[in-house]
Amino acid sequence: MDAVNKNIVGKVVKSADNRSAMREPFDERLSFSSANGTFDGRSRDISTTGLFIETATELDIGEQIEVILTFSSAPKPLRLSAMVTRKTEKGVGAYFEVLNQSQINEFKSVVADFSAK
């Protein structure tokens, strides 16, 4: 994980399951796109480094996707590049690729607002 992602929210710790960022429950509908089209899914948790997407869509480990997150507190959808790093029967885990400064600021604000609820 790069230093930029480590400092997004300031909640980076090593968890019991070897993840390097705290996960927050995040039960929201989302869209994502891959080389095969645009699909709907549902997030279950999110962190500063990635999220889990419940979906029936077949994706491969290492596949690049664009995750489109919509928040009531954000004026426009947040688009994040990610890579599929884990597959289960229920969906996929995706790691956020390097974020630009604008994405970092927006993501930090939205996740902080969501975590405060």
pLDDT at 117: 60
In a domain, 12, yes or no: yes
Tell me the pLDDT band of 114, cut-offs 50, 70 and 90: low
On whether residue 65 sits in a domain, the answer given is yes
> In the predicted model, is pLDDT for residue 25 greater than 80?
yes
pLDDT score, position 8: 33
In a domain, 16, yes or no: yes
pLDDT tens digits for 37-58?
999 999 988 887 889 999 999 9
In this prediction, residue 65 carries a pLDDT of 97
> Domain count of the chain?
1
Q: Cα–Cα distance between 12 and 23 in angstroms, integer?
A: 9
With respect to residue 60, please indicate whether it lies within any of the assigned structural domains. yes
Backbone angles phi, psi at 44, to 5 degrees: -115, -35
pLDDT one-digit tens code per residue, 88-108: 999 999 999 876 777 777 767
Tell me if 93 is assigned to some domain.
yes
| Rounded Cα distance, 70 and 73, in Å | 9
Q: What's 8's domain CATH number?
A: 2.40.10.220
Tell me which residue range forms the domain holding 83: 3-112
At 27 the pLDDT is 86
| pLDDT in the model for residue 11 | 33
Q: Does 22 fall in a domain?
A: yes
DSSP per position, 20-46:
SS--EEEEEEEEEEETTEEEEEEEEEE
Flag whether 48 is in a domain. yes
Backbone φ and ψ of 101, nearest 5°: -60, -40
In a domain, 10, yes or no: yes
